[in-house]
Structure 1
Amino acid sequence: MMMHPLHKPAYEAIFKAAEKYMRVRKNDVHIPLSYRFALELMEHYPEVNQAVVAAGIILHDIGWYAIDEEEIFEKGFSGPDILTSDVRFLHESEGVKYAKPLLASLGYDEEFIEKVCTIIDGHDTRKFAKSKEDEIVRDADKLWRFAVTGVSVACDWFKMTPVQYAQRLEDTNIEQLHLPESVAIAKRELTATRALLLAHVL
């Protein structure tokens, strides 16, 4: 399989350094898929700092490692406004704590680390993006949900059928995306997912 042209060995080094933090909440599935969507989005925005986007999407959810998985699903995936639950804020702040020494150990400077951590801190809970890099990371984080794997995983999290969750994505998640390219990708993936899962039958 050919690698994406924006994929670099340096990004693999970040993945490897963060590996242990990804073995919770299906992040070892979610993060690589979201990374691939980030690479696709960057094709449309060649002016962005690609390394910041790559590090941001790879590390954005590593803070879940610090939180008990039962608490993640009890408090972070239920209730009227899951994005303002305490564990959502906590996984962002813990993610920053993990990301700083991890990136420093790989030789990244303080300015770069600060840009990445600004994205991590608030990627779920902040109502707005602070940069184009931030927009790409925030959208890529959501786009995996529309793919068949994301729907399959999220059905268990939210106790829904694939058809129910696909409809939820269409009704509430597309409007959360920042970039027009992200909206197009979301619709493309959702159409493919519904076809693959025989949504017209089941």
Structure 2
Amino acid sequence: MLPHLTPTRNDLGRDVTGHLPAAEGLPGVYVLDERHAAIWERAVPYLRVRDNDAHTIYAYGLGRALLDLTPQADPEVVLPAILLHDTGWSQVPEPEILEAIAPGGGRPDLVLRHEKEGARIASEVLADVGWDAERTERIVAIVDGHDSRREAISLDDALMKDADKLWRLTPHGVDTVMGWFGLTREQAHRLIASRVHDHLLSEPGRVLALGLAAVASIDVTPQRIALA
């Protein structure tokens, strides 16, 4: 479900839009530039399984935040890697995809398969958009191992892996995990927390995770529920 894009009411009763600042330059306001949008358009047909399309675009935004806090990383490696990292799931039979990551189970062979296929697709997409060869090689190496490889091979890899995991703590991520496994919101957050916090590789990632987890945990308190 998309968030509201237009207001449903105006309690003040008058127009205040003339007093709003421009979006450009505000912290945390992110859009895809033309080059990244070209990658996205080629990646999205491969992402229309298991909510990977929405997951990926949220991870892109989280990656932008991590890059703002880590200026020594290369955004032209991190962000294309995020956009392309899960394209390989399109090559796994859809009924089997959740078995690869299910609690109490798992299919490491399918995880490896989606990484290998994702690396292949990433290489093809980046060639199509004319990405430079040296960065393409680094991006493909990140995609090929982004889930199965516990340690990062570079700072760029660490930020990509953190952005990927942080999505799970967003409201959209919690909603998605609930539907995947038939869990309550509280159960989904417990599962997510067990798979995120101890696996993050950057200090900015750990800070963002605590902020997102705070929102997810308060959402299921009796006090918040009573306000509904």
TM-score by length of 2: 0.81
Cα displacement (A) at 1:5: 5.8
Corresponding position of 2:122: 99
TM-score by length of 1: 0.91
Cα displacement (A) at 1:36: 0.5
Corresponding position of 2:184: 161
Which shows bigger deviation, 183-192 or 140-149? 183-192
Residue pair 2:30, 2:61 contacting (<8 A) in 1 also: no
Q: Deviations over 1:65-95 (max 9, x none)?
A: 1111101123x1226463x611100000000
Corresponding position of 1:187: 210
Question: Whose Rg is larger?
Answer: 2
Q: C-alpha separation between the residues in 1 aligned to 2:70 and 2:195? A: 26
Q: Deviations over 1:142-193 (max 9, x none)?
A: 0010011100001122332110121223344201111111111111112112
**2:193 is aligned with what amino acid?**
E
Q: Deviations over 1:18-63 (max 9, x none)?
A: 1201111101110000010000000111121111101000000000
Report how many residues are paired: 198
Q: C-alpha separation between the residues in 1 aligned to 2:135 and 2:102? A: 35
Aligned: 1:145 with 2:168: yes
Q: What does residue range 1-202 of structure 1 map to in structure 2 within 5 Å?
A: 2=23, 4=29, 7-74=32-99, 76-78=100-102, 80=104, 82=106, 85-195=108-218, 197=219, 199-201=220-222
Residue pair 1:77, 1:157 contacting (<8 A) in 2 also: no
Q: C-alpha separation between the residues in 2 aligned to 1:5 and 1:73? A: 30
Runs (4+) of structure 1 exceeding 6 A deviation are none
Gaps of 5+ in 1: none
Q: C-alpha separation between the residues in 1 aligned to 2:77 and 2:172? A: 26
RMSD: 1.9
Residue pair 2:81, 2:143 contacting (<8 A) in 1 also: yes
Cα displacement (A) at 1:109: 2.6
**1:89 is aligned with what amino acid?**
L
Residue pair 2:63, 2:79 contacting (<8 A) in 1 also: yes
Q: C-alpha separation between the residues in 1 aligned to 2:173 and 2:30? A: 24
Q: C-alpha separation between the residues in 1 aligned to 2:31 and 2:155? A: 17
SS of alignment partner, residue 78 of structure 1: coil
Q: Deviations over 1:106-136 (max 9, x none)?
A: 0113222111001001000012100000000
Cα displacement (A) at 1:138: 0.2
Higher RCO, 1 or 2 (CA under 8 Å, sep at least 6)? 1
Q: C-alpha separation between the residues in 1 aligned to 2:102 and 2:191? A: 14
Q: C-alpha separation between the residues in 2 aligned to 1:128 and 1:37? A: 20
Q: C-alpha separation between the residues in 1 aligned to 2:195 and 2:135? A: 33
**2:58 is aligned with what amino acid?**
L
